[in-house]
Amino acid sequence: MTRQPPLPYKRAICYSGFRDGQSPDKGIHPTEAQILEDLQLLVGHWEALRVYACDLHTERVLRVIDREELPFTIMLGAYIGAEKNNPDCPWGGVYSDDILTLNRQKNKEELERAAQWANRYVDLIDVVSVGNEATVDWTDHLVDPETVQRYAADLKSRVSQPVTFCENYVPWLDKLEGLAKELDIIAIHTYPVWEYKSVDEAMAYTRENFDAVQRRHPDKQIIITEAGWATASNGRGIPAENVGELYQKAYLSELLTWAEQEQIRVYVFEAFDENWKGSDHPLEPEKHWGLYRADRSGKPAISVQY
């Protein structure tokens, strides 16, 4: 395949449209009408969207954008599940041999869909990710870096878009050397608030994370595929005093200004709150990263979209 050039700067955001009562775990997905409603909130403010899996939700997102001729490009993500056990995962990363074998087959099917969709929507999809947070020490869906590297090489042979892998910034500094060489683009995640930084410390820490990976891989384009700020917390992993809607607005303002000045593509995490995530506690931080609440009302951070 002829490789496309590196990604240009665009205003970018992560999009997952699961509403209350819906979740990928339940197999209840947003309708095309609901997806269109979401995208109409985002259009004009964002130019690039990131989706996470080659599932029914993403299939509908691609169909709606193509049919309605909406001015977005898409980072298509393939979600790869656990292929080995990870006893270091705090919330459970140990599976039966049968489950791991089944996951390997599902991963091949997922990557097959990624290749097919990337070629079907070649003018819409501008980058393809071969996985998400599957090599970091704490993941519940652990895959060997060498396996991800093989997946990336196969995908590169079948699509024209740049191929990447989305991962926390730390593994890029050591154990992903071989994978980094295989990829067209390195995609990092940086979450200062998860690392107990205040909002006043956050942007400097984000820059440190980015610069460390760029120094480690000077010949690669580095993008950020997740960076954001939670607006609520029950104290699980994030001190409650470090989060809030005004903190989110402040961090997002600094982040987007820096990204534009440096012409770095940064996918903000994320467009909408998703109450299906994490524990049942209403202040579970996993539920509260959206620029819009689950009912689609905007938080103060939407004022810095423009």
Structure confidence by residue, pLDDT tens digits, 16-49: 999 999 999 999 999 999 999 999 999 999 999 9
Cα separation, 79 vs 112, in Å, equals 12
User: Could you tell me what percent of the chain has a pLDDT over 70?
Assistant: 98
Condensed to tens digits (0 to 9), the pLDDT of residues 103-133 reads 999 999 999 999 999 999 999 999 999 999 9
| Mean pLDDT of all residues belonging to the chain | 96
User: 116-120 contacts: CB < 8 A, separation 24 or more?
Assistant: 117/54, 117/58, 117/59, 117/62, 117/76, 118/76, 118/158, 118/159, 118/160, 118/161, 119/158, 119/159, 119/160
What pLDDT score was predicted for residue 108?
98
How many percent of the chain have pLDDT more than 90?
A: 97
What is the phi/psi pair of residue 304, to 5°?
-105, 15
CA–CA distance, 256 with 206 (Å, rounded to integer): 12
Q: How confident is the model at residue 6 (pLDDT cuts 50, 70, 90)?
A: confident
HSE, side-chain direction, 13 A CA sphere, residue 51: 25
279-188-253-303 Cα dihedral, nearest 10 degrees = -60
What is the maximum alpha-carbon separation in the chain?
Answer: 50
Task: Go through 233-259 and write b for each residue having 16 or more CB atoms within 10 A of its CB, e for each that does not.
Answer: bbeebbeeebbbbebbbbbbebbbeeb
Q: How far apart are CA 179 and CA 171, in angstroms?
A: 11
pLDDT of residue 306: 53
Report the pLDDT value the prediction gives residue 266, as an integer from 0 to 100. 98
CATH architecture, domain defined by 12-304: Alpha-Beta Barrel (3.20)
Mean pLDDT of 276-285: 94
Query: Would you kindly state where each structural domain of the chain is located, as residue ranges?
Result: 12-304
Calculate mean pLDDT across residues 185-190.
98
Query: What is the distance between the alpha carbons of residues 209 and 31, in angstroms, rounded to a whole number?
Result: 37
Nearest to 110 by CA among 54, 167, 29, 56: 54
